[in-house]
Structure 1
Amino acid sequence: MSGYFIVFFCFLLIQRIGELRLAKKNADWMRQRGGYEVGANHYKYIVAIHVGFFLTLAVEVLVWNAVAPSWWLLPLILFFLTQLLRYWCIQSLGPYWNTRIYILPEATLIKKGPYRLVKHPNYWIVITEIALVPLIFGAYYTAFVWSLINFCFLKAVRIPTEEKALLLLKSEGP
């Protein structure tokens, strides 16, 4: 199972690196148009949460020899469904999607795709992923600890910061 884990782990890392590159491109696009970042002081904690998650996952699976449950296929299927939702979020926001919080003056709040159905869908997807990925490999400690840490940080810091920033946008968008 460790071979499958390494392939899956590398897939996740490549995916995240690609998303960070897209976020940088989108940030550059917004800054060129007068956009600015909000909440930059807490971004290091988001990075720390994700790095901690990946490191703990690798240790639990490769060092502590976590054993995949007999029902591993269920969280794997759910994970791939969340990926479809993730890319729906990215596509819906287009150049406004980012891992950071950017405000573009005079922009309007986007209310299409999953954003017309629920607030902050990408955060719900990340919460789900942080729970699902470890469950595929039986890494229950990682699933519990990092799901709790991530949820609490999003609820206490990230979402309130983004909500305040979104108040600066016009209320109707495409």
Structure 2
Amino acid sequence: MPYFLLIVAVAAERLAELIVARRNLTWSLARGGRESGHGHYPVIVVLHTGLLAGCLLETYGAHRRFRPALGRPMLALVVASQALRWWCIATLGHRWNTRIVVVPGTDLIRRGPYRWIRHPNYVAVVVEGAALPLVHSAWVTAGTFTVLDALVLRVRIRAENAALTELVHDA
């Protein structure tokens, strides 16, 4: 039951992200923001929904046992990834989104975690995607999500880098 509650909490966090993202999308579009790379967005939604469903289906369907030596460090990584994600959201403010939206005339953010890493939010996604299933030994879900997420992030990061390059050239 505690693992189920963890998955519900992560799902609630995702809904909070979507609320913030929708608000920020409205803000960005009102300032001339342009969305790019939107073709892969539905795949991301399905993949992340599948991660949460896979965690539950594998854990309870395959009767995976909680293994404290694995589960506790993975839980710490899940918490750390959430902290990093919300640090990214706080740092980008209105410019953070689950979509790729660039507002012309704005500068690249180079503070917070962006001082050190170009895409820290994706670090959080990768860590969480591997760690969340492993909290309760759902290794098939962890492996499957990690491989599929790597493929999607490859497309996503290319699209985002292209959009950010456009932003730098517009400045």
TM-score bin, normalised by smaller chain: over 0.9
* 3-state secondary structure, aligned to 2:35: strand
What TM-score, normalized to structure 2? 0.94
Residue equivalent to 2:45? 47
* 3-state secondary structure, aligned to 2:63: coil
Instruction: Within 5 Å, give how 1:103-118 maps onto structure 2.
Output: 103-118=102-117
* Percent identity (aligned): 36
Instruction: Within 5 Å, give how 1:1-174 maps onto structure 2.
Output: 3-71=1-69, 72-155=71-154, 157-170=155-168
Q: State the shift of 1:170 in Å.
A: 3.0
Q: Conserved in 2, the CA contact under 8 Å of 1:67 and 1:138?
A: yes
> Please, which runs of 5 or more residues in structure 1 have no aligned partner?
none
* 3-state secondary structure, aligned to 1:169: helix
> Please, which runs of 5 or more residues in structure 2 have no aligned partner?
none
* 3-state secondary structure, aligned to 1:93: helix
Q: State the shift of 1:70 in Å.
A: 2.8
For 1:89-110, what per-residue CA distance to the aligned partner results, in whole angstroms no more than 9, with x for missing partners? 1111010000000011111111
Aligned residue type for 2:32: G
C-alpha separation in 2, matches of 1:168 and 1:43: 20
Please provide the CA RMSD for this pair: 1.3
Q: Conserved in 1, the CA contact under 8 Å of 2:40 and 2:152?
A: no
Q: Conserved in 2, the CA contact under 8 Å of 1:26 and 1:95?
A: yes
Q: Which has the higher helix share?
A: 2
Misfit runs of 4+, over 2 Å: none
Aligned residue type for 1:74: P
What TM-score, normalized to structure 1? 0.93
Number of residue pairs the alignment of both structures matches: 169
* 3-state secondary structure, aligned to 1:119: coil
Q: Conserved in 1, the CA contact under 8 Å of 2:38 and 2:99?
A: yes
Aligned residue type for 1:30: S
